[in-house]
Amino acid sequence: MPDVCLFTSLDEAREITRLWMQEYNEERGHDALGKLTPVEVFQRVGVSTFELST
């Protein structure tokens, strides 16, 4: 995802943000988490669900 996005609508901004959050939390490994994703860390400590604040 580029550093700057111009959205044509609020719905488009929400969808692109949702996709970015999904990639960030479920697909992208984080250095601070030993290259695990946040979801993998939650699974390892036994947390099955979490709620994102928007």
**Percent helix, strand and coil across the chain, each to the nearest 5:** 50, 5, 45
Reported pTM = 0.67
Is residue 54 domain-resident?
Answer: no
Pick the closest to residue 24 from 41, 4, 46, 39 (CA basis).
Answer: 39
Per the structure, the complete domain to which residue 27 belongs is given by: 10-44
In a domain, 32, yes or no: yes
Hey, what are 14's tokens? 């929400």
- Tokens 């939650």 correspond to 42
Q: What are 15-24's pLDDT values in tens digits?
A: 999 999 999 9
**Could you tell me if residue 29 is inside a domain?**
yes
Residue 52 domain flag: no
5, part of any domain: no
The count of domains in the chain is 1
Contact partners, residue 40, CB within 8 Å, separation at least 6: 33
Indicate whether 3 belongs to any domain. Answer: no
Residue 30 forms part of a structural domain: yes
Q: What confidence tens digit (pLDDT) does each residue in 30-43 have? A: 999 999 999 999 88
